[in-house]
Amino acid sequence: MTIAWRLPDYDAHEVLHFVHDEASGLKAIIAIHSTHLGPSAGGCRFWHYDHPEDAITDALRLSRGMSYKNAMAGLPLGGGKSVILADEALTKPPELLAAFGRAVDRLGGHYVTAEDVGMNVKDMVEVSRQTKFVAGLPAEDGVGGDPGPHTSLGVFLGIKAAVRHALGKDSVSGLHIALQGAGSVATGVALHAAAEGAKLSIADIDPEKAQKLADASDGKAVDPDDILSLEADVLSPCALGAILDEESIAALRVPVVAGGANNQLATPEDGAKLHQRGILYAPDYVINAGGIINVCTEYLGDGDQSLVRQRIEAIPDRLEQVWAESASSGRDPAAVADAMAQRLIGRG
């Protein structure tokens, strides 16, 4: 297997754990990027990888993104992430979740887990039977539970900020948003945008999900192969990452890219390519911090739903800070945000 620290996405990660539990069949990776600001926190992704090396890359990239996300959101948390290597049938028995919970518990609080792609509140309850270092449990007083709606709200507010910055409009009413994905976060974004009068084009690898969301938001389902080249006011990537590369950026026909997916840029250089084309980019880990804000408030027990909302409503201000520094320095927003986050975690 490839030595992790030779991989391009290895970034002085503090710890990388490879977990194997033969009895349950669990194979997982827990990556801790930084604990400079507090215990590393980030969700668990349950996904089938064609190649194990892809899981390592995912864990490295996602954990670094969580360091940056938590720092930029002003949270007292470091960055971590876990991935469970699922079989092709995506089998997820309770024994496997229990084994994962024990693996998290052995880290003694250095890593706090929660939901990510392929995991839900029910799964977190199973994990919590083995460890207290878990969030995303059933909500109490509106804090906790599925982080997706909180992520969606932050992304929608970020889209409004981007539209105001790039297009001079205070509302998305009448604007065309090309939405990639029809999962939990994309659904929330679509419903918020539709309620304000936006026109939506929606694509997902599952056409039934895309059509269902299109029906719910008075939008239009389109082919996944067409969504990145659609002429629109905003492209909102809300599926998996690494979709913005040299080829796809050249085909974009939007003035704004603002969405909830993690690691949207295939490489750091792709942020500069967007900037060179005059496309305003909302750095993903800044705009999509709503979920981890809710998770942090739940885990630390330091506030109620009103505080969660207050923290999420600060996301547009942070984006404006990034764009302002980008304008004054000439650097692209992704590079600016990275530099800000690195300073906050003591690596700048």
| Enzyme catalytic residues | 81
Beta partners for residue 112, in sequence order: 41
CA-CA-CA-CA torsion sign (273, 275, 276, 278): positive
Token pair belonging to 287:
């705009």
Give the up-direction half-sphere exposure of residue 23: CA atoms within 13 A in the CB hemisphere: 6
Burial class (CB in 10 A: 0-12, 13-18, 19+), 7: middle
Alpha-carbon distance of 135 to 132, in angstroms, equals 8
Q: 234: closest CA among 260, 212, 210?
A: 260
The 3-state DSSP composition of the chain as helix, strand, coil percent (nearest 5) reads: 45, 20, 40
Instruction: Find where tokens 């509140």 sit.
Output: 121
Per the CB < 8 A criterion, the answer to whether 279 and 254 are in contact is: yes
What is the enclosing helix (H) or strand (E) of 216?
helix 207-216
Alpha-carbon distance of 191 to 177, in angstroms, equals 12
137: DSSP letter: P
Alpha-carbon distance of 331 to 21, in angstroms, equals 46
